[in-house]
Chain A
Amino acid sequence: MNPADRYVPRRRPRTRLAVALFAIVAAVLSALAPDAGAEYGDVVINNYSDGAGMRPVVFPHWFHRVRYRCKVCHADLGFQFKAGGNQINMVKIIDGQFCGGCHNGDIAWSVENCNLCHSGKPGTLTQVHESTTSQIASPPARVTAK
């Protein structure tokens, strides 16, 4: 006998249940619609900014990947796959490392445009915004390097 024939499914109650659940969930979701929320992949880097009285840096992945492939930053420029994973400071950037590989006034805006990168809400933790990982497994790290 085909194993699938063993059950006589009671279609109607289950369909009704599913429809009811769907309606409830849809209603709840539309009430809680995520209108605000930064772009998926936006990174906040706040290793030193708060301590230095600057706004934290917001790095928009979407903006950069329109113009550069991942490998440019993550292979050539040495960016780790971890928010705040490189101890980036302004000395290194002016020296041409990390952000300074492009933000040198030649390829992209140079370091005197402080506010364009340091544009985050003060006190925002270092994190990858909207990451599934921080939603499911662990919240943004509270540890900030000094």
Chain B
Amino acid sequence: MRVRRALVAVLVAVAAAASAQVAYKRAWPTLAADGLHDPASPALAILQEPSEALSALPPDFAGNLVNWMASLDGGYIKPRSTVLADTRVTLRSTDVLLKRTGELPLVVFPHRQHTAWLDCTNCHDQLFQQKAGGTMINMFLILQGEKCGVCHGAVAFPLTECARCHSVARGSDAEKTFRNLVRE
């Protein structure tokens, strides 16, 4: 029991220290120093540096240190929805409740934020059934890069941001606003 508590304390300390540090200095490595670009590449004099684009966007404490949703909603960026003439853009705002979360708070999946970026076919029906509760999702799959982990942990906010998905306390008033796992 004591070992378990100590472990929890360590995890909390790591998370707190890590987030405190990121919050403290919001800085992006230069392309030449990022470990991926070849410092000898002639492109480095031409390509845009992350700090130039990202420092103007609403801050976050993980990933690119940018709150991408706030950037979109706030009009800081105006990314195009299509480059093809005949593309149909579909938006949706239904929230879905995911209740098999063990001891953690329940998960709310918001369609609004996801359809702002993605097309229905990106998730349905390969990754997720359209019926609420119809897909087996768990953290083992997600941590291996499946289900939500296809994007979260690769490009959307990372898997260290537990509470952004696990956001509704069990038995809370917020839980009662869902009917059959769905809130319009």
B10, B34, B47: the one within 8 Å of A36 (CB): B34
A41-B155, A120-B38, A128-B155 in contact; A65/B33 too (CB < 8 A)? no
Query: In the complex the two chains form, is A81's CB within 8 Å of B151's CB?
Result: yes
Residues on the B chain within 8 Å of A61, using CB: 155
Residues on the B chain within 8 Å of A77, using CB: 83
Q: How many residues of B contact A (CB 8 A)?
A: 64
A42, A67, A137: the one within 8 Å of B143 (CB): A137
Q: How many residues of A contact B (CB 8 A)?
A: 58
A12 to B9 Cα, complex, angstroms = 14
Q: Which residues of A contact B (CB under 8 A)?
A: 14, 17-18, 21-22, 24-26, 29-30, 33, 35-42, 44, 55, 58, 60-63, 65-72, 74-77, 81, 101-102, 107, 115-117, 119-122, 124, 128-129, 131-133, 136-138
Q: Which residues of B contact A (CB under 8 A)?
A: 5-6, 9-10, 12-14, 16-18, 20-21, 28-29, 31, 33-38, 41-44, 46-48, 50, 53-54, 62-64, 66, 68, 77, 79-84, 87, 89, 116-119, 121-122, 143-145, 149-155, 158-160
